[in-house]
Amino acid sequence: MQKERETRVTATGDWIDGLPEAGDELERSSTAERVADLLRSHIINGAMAPGARLSEERLGRKFRVSRNTLREAFRLLGHERLLVHEFNRGVFVAKPGAEDVVDLFRMRRALELPAVRSGARASAEALGAVGAAVEQGEAARARGDWEGIGTANMAYHRAVAGLLGSPRADETMRQLLAELRLAFHVMAAPRDFYAPYLDRNRAIYDLLAAGAFEPAAQELEEYFDVAERQLVQAFTADSRG
């Protein structure tokens, strides 16, 4: 009897202990966070032009939330540099300049290159995410979905940074890429900006999968140089106003 009871208890314990610790799946979110998510998607999709003003009263009425809740959301996005908060003047959609693009690429180099070079220590899962993003991008290209190509490119570089296995790097990378995507909306309609880079993404992934981490890093570095130059050029050419 004692034995049966004990086995039952330990069995239950093992069962529960074996569960994956209740991740963020059932994490209830506050209204402010949901509003922030909504605003963020609008911003990076270009629905809100860079520099546009976000009126507390009008947005609050639109989303059916109070000003206080809206202000909490503003704080969140301000910390991600998607909104800029000017005291007593209001919040505006950030308007990145060429110097921001340069800085963003500096950060990307600092995070993504070490991530690739540490590829040997990366989990198979993290590596698989890179491959999945490559195919996601190619599928988007096949159906001419330019928006999808951009999304896939973001996923790709997030996955690359994810090779580090660092929660903080993941979070930082997420922000950087969102900001970078906002930067695109500043320059003149670059619908198929990312398309030429899909093959390069594939090449880097193949090197990664083959264990050639240093060559992959070199390829990635070259990509950074080319993409940054093209972006900065688009910015300075477009610098009227």
Residues that bind a copy of itself (CB under 8 A): 27-30, 32, 68, 71-72, 75-76, 79, 81, 87-88, 103-104, 106-107, 109-111, 114, 164, 166-169, 172, 176
Q: Which residue has the tokens 């093992």?
A: 14
Judged by beta carbon distances under 5 to 8 A according to partner kind, the member of a copy of itself, DNA, none in contact with residue 57 is: DNA
Q: How many C-beta neighbours within 10 Å does residue 178 have? A: 19
**Helices within 88-237 (DSSP H only):** 98-117, 124-142, 146-162, 167-184, 198-209, 213-237
DSSP 64: T
Which amino acid does the sequence have at 69?
T
Nearer to a copy of itself, 126 or 149 (CB): 126
Q: 63-122: which residues touch DNA (CB under 7 A)? A: 64-69, 71, 85, 87-91
Structure tokens at 239: 């610098």
**Cβ of residue 3: shortest distance to DNA, in angstroms?**
17
DSSP 25: T
Q: Is 10 in the site for DNA (CB under 7 A)?
A: no
Angle, CA of 150, 232 and 94, to the nearest 5°: 70
Q: Is 2 in the site for DNA (CB under 7 A)?
A: no
CB contact set of 230 (below 8 Å; sequence gap of 6+): 193
Q: Is residue 85 helix, strand or coil?
A: strand
Structure tokens at 119: 């590829």
**Cβ of residue 233: shortest distance to a copy of itself, in angstroms?**
21
Nearer to DNA, 92 or 146 (CB): 92
Nearer to DNA, 5 or 143 (CB): 5
Nearer to DNA, 86 or 125 (CB): 86
Binding site for DNA (CB under 7 A): 30-32, 53-57, 64-69, 71, 85, 87-91
